[in-house]
Amino acid sequence: MNTEVLGVISIFLLTILLSIPLGRYIARVFIGERTMLDPVLSAVERLIYRTAGIDPKQGMTWKQHLVAMLTINLVWFLLAMVILMNQQYLPLNPDGNPNMTPDLAFNTAISFLVNCNLQHYSGETGVSYFSQVFALMFLQFVSAGTGVAVAAVVINGLKERTTEQLGNFYRYFLLSCTRILLPLSIIIASMLAFSGSPMTFKGKESLVTLQGDTVEVSRGPVAAFVAIKHLGTNGGGFFGANSAHPLENPSYLTNAIQLIAQVIIPIALVFAMGYWLKKRKLALVILGVMTVGFLALVIPTIVAEAKGNPAIARMGIDCSSGAMEGKETRFGPVVSAYWSIATTVISTGSVNSMHDSSMPLSGMNQMLGMMVNSFYGGCGVGLLNFFVYLIIAVFISGLMVGRTPEFLGKKVEAREMKIAMIIALLHPLLILAGTAIASYCAAHVSDMGWWFADTSGKGQAASNWLNNPGYHGFSEMLYEYTSAAANNGSGLEGLGDNNPFWNISTGIILLLSRFLPIIGPVAIAGLLAKKKYIPESAGTLKADTLTFGLMILCVKLIIAALAFFPSLALGPIAEYFSIQ
């Protein structure tokens, strides 16, 4: 067990160390300084700009940024829907997988578009190789690129003294894909391919097991898919078991590589912000707040999983190896616990163990990571979510101490505060409203309607969603909407979610929870950028101090506690006390 803990500590420290030079590189890319990839990629980027008729030097207002972002995302959504609903007629389908139903295609296309990858299908039977590559993997690149580009827009808005021009969205987006995501994906995919992950377009292969049974083993372009699924904090698995699958995650080494890959860009973006704004102390304060929140979730989760299940121990079964239900013996409970918090805090959503089998307080911590949704967070959007809490903390702190609420030389006034509060309260509203509706249906709706049809098209009672009734069943529904609202994608798989009700309801929440929290910070950054710059004085509230960092952390905890504690008490907390 001590070795497992040392392994987790080593992975975390290595991630931090690697993110520092990566953050410096990302800042240089967006600032426009020369990098080692210029000779290779500059000509390609100029060709893309020329072909698309884009002038990367033309500035855009915050409204123009949003119009560009929303328009291009609409095109990608329609493209993905067409591919998923017609995949059986398209090439690269050696296993003959059928078309998706409209509601499942709607959910899947939106889910990958918004960087969530909430999968209500199994990759082995649900999608073709064509869909995996040209719909899903494509969306994994562009959704992550969108998040990083929007973060760049906000950072640039904070950097400028007084302006309405926040750079060019298309330039930020293209650089995110060509200079950051693509090179890192090639490196990670090569590591995975050499470690045993398949990289082929051949269909299933028949193998004979040691027991003499013949099995059909699915394969495909797995290494490339898994690389961007983690680097882009996407999380969608090529196979149904995600990174618990031995071909998707062959060894402890690949497990460590994937853990580092999914955390490194969100942390590097914090360092990039510090370099770009020349506010490295502020970046360290932000990173410190994020890290404290992360460790506050990961440490008790590791302890809970390492202790094992007390209900099983009372049956006389040895639990000294920890809570091994739903865990891969290749990894063990400690690194699985670390992964479960990393993937929920960072909004990746990939799994190397089954979260449905986690201890109750582990499940609570996983949900809290998604409910706060800004301890590191996803590619770009984690920084945007943190920015919302930062604006709230600036406003409250300024009023409390009698100083002008200012951030980086710009006054934070009622308009910015209203936008920040709407975005902060939208997250719990979507989660709790969805869970309340689903809970009512599970308890009261019994007629067999289209909304509750199963995968065969036959109606079913809403109560049949839940394989685990009681407290855990409530947790399954709460987790599903939390995962959708946090653009995470992981789930407690005891929930039967491939039906029109869950596909459409989570699809709507996916859209609202992705784009409204992006619109809010961009609008705030645009409004602040237009204001007159005010030099710091004795009356200015400093945002790069330990005290202010503690204030941000308190704001996060208070909002999360007030909003989510009652629902957590009905689910994982009640389940915890029921098994003691």
| Sign of the alpha-carbon torsion through 10, 13, 15, 18 | negative
CA distances from 81 to 120, 134, 135, 276 (A): 15, 11, 8, 38
Is residue 454's pLDDT more than 70? no
Q: What is the mean pLDDT of the chain?
A: 90
> Residues 377, 387: contact at Cβ < 8 Å?
no
The SS3 of residue 466 is strand
What three-state secondary structure class fits 322? coil
Look up residue 501 and give its two tokens.
């009700």
Split at pLDDT 50, 70, 90, the class of 205 is: confident
37, 38, 41, 42 alpha-carbon torsion, rounded to 10°: 170
Per-residue model confidence as pLDDT tens digits over 279-320: 999 999 999 999 999 999 999 999 999 988 887 777 777 777
- What are the pLDDT digits (tens) for 476-501? 999 999 999 999 999 888 888 888 88
Is pLDDT above 90 for 198? yes
**Candidate from 320-334, 365-379, 530-544 with smallest mean pLDDT:** 530-544
Query: What whole-number distance in Å separates Cα of residue 167 and Cα of residue 339?
Result: 36
Q: Are 197 and 226 in contact (CB under 8 A)?
A: yes
The Cβ-side half-sphere exposure at 199, using a 13 Å CA radius, reads 16
Q: Confidence band (pLDDT; 50, 70, 90) for 87? A: very high
pLDDT tier at 462, thresholds 50, 70, 90 = low
**pLDDT greater than 60 at residue 448:** no
What pLDDT was estimated at residue 389? 93
Asked if 361 contacts 304 with a C-beta cutoff of 8 angstroms, the reply is yes
What is residue 325's predicted lDDT score, i.e. its pLDDT? 86
In angstroms, rounded to a whole number, what is the distance separating the alpha carbons of residues 85 and 104?
A: 9
Three-class SS string for 550-576? HHHHHHHHHHHHHHHHHHHHHHHHHHH
pLDDT digits (tens, 9 = 90+) for 389-425: 999 999 888 888 777 788 888 888 889 999 999 999 9
With a cut of 60, say whether residue 455 has pLDDT above it. no
Residue 176 has pLDDT above 50, yes or no: yes
| % pLDDT > 90, the chain | 68
Mean pLDDT, residues 442-452:
61
Tell me what pLDDT residue 12 has. Answer: 96
Closest CA to 357 of 570, 579, 510: 579
Euclidean distance between CA atoms 261 and 68, whole angstroms: 29
pLDDT at 201: 92
What pLDDT does 571 receive? Answer: 93
3-class SS at 540? Answer: strand
Res 542: pLDDT? 82
